[in-house]
């Protein structure tokens, strides 16, 4: 089953979400997609980890580690940020996803935080159905939060082809004084996937 997620297709999906009469029909259509138990398990873990990331960064609160075990950060996800940084990772036993938490300090003295959801297995590629389920979940969350008046579309998002990318912003600054962005990106061939929430480096924060 081949699914193509062009920018036009994503725009059509968003329009379906934003028109109430078509919203229910759209959800029902997706609910009956033939997806495997593995895909549903992946979606469940993604929904849990992404929400934990979003709440932690938006509230500038401690990450909820309940039911998770600490693990090492994969070399491909480890990197140095700013003047100083530290990274820790957490994972539910048996899951294909894990979270990487990063705290880094910039030259002006602000410590920013980033929480990413990543694939634990470097060789794992998402198939078309898995991509569709994750994108669907992200868009539902996005539209719900925007509808509640707490968030807005990230109009400065600049997709890098061939990546499929979506993002939204917390409307107000978080308690750390930072603008906060949540995003999801994946490559059509499924070999790259990243999602999460972070305090933006392109906007100033309150110096700590």
In whole angstroms, what is the distance from residue 173 CA to residue 155 CA? 16
Per the CB < 8 A criterion, the answer to whether 13 and 3 are in contact is no
- pLDDT the model gives residue 5: 44
79 Cβ contact list (under 8 Å, min separation 6)? 85
Per the CB < 8 A criterion, the answer to whether 65 and 91 are in contact is no
In Å, what is the CA distance from 22 to each residue of 26, 28, 122, 203?
6, 10, 38, 37
- pLDDT the model gives residue 106: 80
**SS3 of residue 167 by DSSP:** strand
109 Cβ contact list (under 8 Å, min separation 6)? 207, 208
In whole angstroms, what is the distance from residue 81 CA to residue 102 CA? 9
- pLDDT the model gives residue 81: 67
Bridge partner list, 167? 183
22 pLDDT more than 50: no
> Which of 187, 197, 201, 204 lies closest to 100 in space, CA to CA?
197
Per the CB < 8 A criterion, the answer to whether 12 and 21 are in contact is no
Bridge partner list, 153? 168
User: Which of 52-66, 132-146, 156-170 has the weakest average pLDDT?
Assistant: 156-170
Report the pLDDT averaged over residues 45-52. Answer: 98
Who wins on pLDDT, 74 or 150?
Answer: 150
In whole angstroms, what is the distance from residue 97 CA to residue 59 CA? 23
- pTM comes to 0.81
pLDDT tens digits along 133-142: 999 999 999 9
- pLDDT the model gives residue 109: 78
């Amino acid at each position: 089953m081949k699914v193509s997620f062009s920018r036009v297709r994503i725009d059509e999906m968003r329009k379906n979400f934003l028109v109430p009469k078509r919203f229910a029909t759209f959800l029902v259509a997706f609910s009956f997609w033939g997806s495997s138990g593995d895909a549903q398990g992946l979606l469940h873990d993604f929904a849990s980890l992404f929400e934990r990331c979003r709440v932690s960064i938006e509230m500038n609160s401690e990450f909820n580690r309940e039911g998770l075990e600490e693990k090492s950060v994969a070399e491909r996800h480890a990197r140095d940020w700013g003047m100083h940084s530290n990274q820790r990772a957490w994972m539910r036993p048996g899951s294909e996803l894990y979270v990487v938490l990063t705290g880094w300090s910039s030259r002006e003295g602000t410590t920013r935080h980033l929480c990413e959801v990543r694939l634990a297995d470097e060789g794992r590629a998402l198939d078309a159905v898995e991509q569709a389920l994750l994108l669907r979940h992200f868009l539902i969350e996005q539209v719900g939060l925007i509808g509640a008046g707490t968030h807005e579309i990230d109009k400065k998002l600049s997709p890098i082809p061939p990546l499929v990318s979506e993002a939204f912003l917390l409307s107000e600054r978080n308690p750390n004084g930072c603008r906060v962005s949540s995003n999801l990106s994946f490559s059509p061939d499924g070999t790259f996937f990243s999602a999460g929430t972070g305090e933006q480096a392109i906007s100033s924060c309150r110096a700590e």
